Each structure stands twice: as C-alpha cells, then as structure tokens.
Amino acid sequence: KRSVAFGLGMAAIAVALLSGIDRYDTTLFSVHMVQHVLLTFVAAPLIALAGPITLLLRAASPGGRQRWILPVLHSRALRILAFPVVAWVVFAGVMWASHFSPLFDAALEDPLLHDLEHGLFLGTAILFWWPVVAVDPGPWRMPHPVRALYVFLQMPQNTFLAVVLLGATTVLYPHYATTGRTWGPTPLADQGTAAGIMWIAGDAVFLLAILAVIAAWMRADARDIDRSDRRADVERAAIRERERDLAERLAREREAQSGSGAAR
C-alpha cells in the first residue's frame, strides 16, 4: 500500500513537471493551475500516505539515523513547523502569498524561481497533509475529529482564494497578457478557468480527505470496541474461573464438614 502511494505520488509529480503540462504552464494560467493542483492536492497527500519518514528510518544505517535523521525529527524547528496550526497557516499563507505577490509573475519569467516555487508548493502541502494522514511518526498527533476539522477549515480559504481570482476584472499576472498568444482563451478567460480548477479540484480533494478521515475514525472506534469486548471476555472468563474455584472449594469444605460430623 505504501509503495503504491509513493509510486503514484512520484507519477503525479512527473506528470506535473515533466510532461506537456510543464511546457505550457507559462503560456496558460489554467495549465499552471493544473500543475499546482497535481503537486498540492494529489502528489503531496500520496507522498504523506507512503510514510516517507518511516521508509527513510528503515533504509538508513544506525549511524545515519542517530547522526542525521533523528536530530532533525527531534529538532525544535521541525516541532514548530509540524504543529498542526502552524502547518495549516503556512500552507494557506503560501497559497495567498504566491498568488497575490510579485513572486508568481516573477516565477513565470525565471526558470530557477519557478522551480523553487514548485518546491515550496509541494513542501508546504506535504507539511499540511502529514498530520492528516498520520502514517509517519510526528511530534504532534491529532485525534480523528480534530483531523476532520483541520481539513474542513482549509476548504473555505481555498474557495475564497478561488473566488477572488474568479472575480478579478483584470489580468493579475502581466506575463500571461504579454505572451503574444494568438490561440485559445483570452488571458482573463483563462484566469477564470484557472480559478474554477482551483475551486472544484481543491474542494473535491478536501471533501474526499474528510470522508477518508471519518472512515478511519469509524474503523478506529470499531477496533477499540473489539479490544474492549475482548478484554471484557477475558475478565468475564477470569471471573467465571474464580467462581468455579470458589464453588469447588466450598464444596470440598462442606464434604469435609459432613465427613467429620458423621465420624462423631
């Protein structure tokens, strides 16, 4: 299961960055949005589901674990970044800051900056999904109801961001208005399509994640009930065993008393 999730996550990254999508991401904003959706809403949760930290700990040598991996996992910086509220805010903040700052348009002109932007999107998305999936060990652990709320609260900000992009009456990123493209939708119409992709794809993934968390919650409750039932069965069996021992002891005592009375 983890290997499949990791393979699918890597495939999503490859489609986003090494296919025709990457060829047209600086030409059409809608294609660029598909790229970002693949990185943040497909690749990131799949990689988190694969448990990369667990795999790394298993694959590393004992010296490597003690010298490099465990100090990073136990570091104060990671503990702060992995705190669910911080991870939530960082992910949402990157979404807003990247779309409403000069960074987005500058990344369209500079390939290195564009690659760094992709890394930022993927990294913060993995940070966000890490406590939701909760496969890898982490400094913080959320119960299932809190996980569902954590994901649910991300939906409105994603929707609002998409609505702001959709409602813009001017092209927000000059690069797309100056490509000289003579085919396809106008830059403003393309911007609206990109906003729709963000809205529909993002909210759909969040809804699926919430349903998955609820399903995991129900399974966990069922396992807890089964464990409680097994403990109760063991306790009842122990009680019945003690009752049998007591009954047998009392019976022997009565027999002994009867025998001594008959002898007198």
Task: Say yes or no to pLDDT of 198 above 90.
Answer: yes
| 120-171 tens-digit pLDDT | 999 999 999 988 887 777 777 888 899 999 999 999 999 999 999 999 889 9
Cβ neighbors of 21 (< 8 A, separation 6 or more) are: 15, 31, 34, 35, 38
Provide the percentage of residues in the chain whose pLDDT is more than 70. Answer: 95
| Stretch 46-55: mean pLDDT | 85
pLDDT for the residue numbered 72 = 78
- Count of positions (residues) in the chain: 264
pLDDT for the residue numbered 42 = 94
Task: Say yes or no to pLDDT of 262 above 70.
Answer: no
More confident residue, 39 or 21: 39
**Residue 116's pLDDT band (cuts 50, 70, 90):** very high
Q: Decide: 47 and 126 in contact? Cβ < 8 Å.
A: yes
Task: Say yes or no to pLDDT of 228 above 90.
Answer: no
CA atoms within 13 A on the CB side of 246: 6
Which has the minimum average pLDDT: 5-9, 166-170, 241-245? 241-245
Phi-psi sector, 173: left (phi>0), alpha (psi -120 to 50), beta: beta
Quickly tell me which residue has 């999503």 as its tokens.
Answer: 12
pLDDT for the residue numbered 76 = 83
| Stretch 259-263: mean pLDDT | 63
CB atoms within 10 A of CB 171: 16
What's the pTM value of the predicted model, to 2 decimals? Answer: 0.79
pLDDT for the residue numbered 208 = 94
From CA 198, how far away is CA 102, in angstroms rounded? Answer: 20
| Stretch 223-250: mean pLDDT | 75
Task: Say yes or no to pLDDT of 11 above 90.
Answer: yes
C-beta pairs of 64-72 under 8 Å, 24+ apart in sequence: none
- What are the tokens at 254? 């009565």
Task: Say yes or no to pLDDT of 195 above 90.
Answer: yes
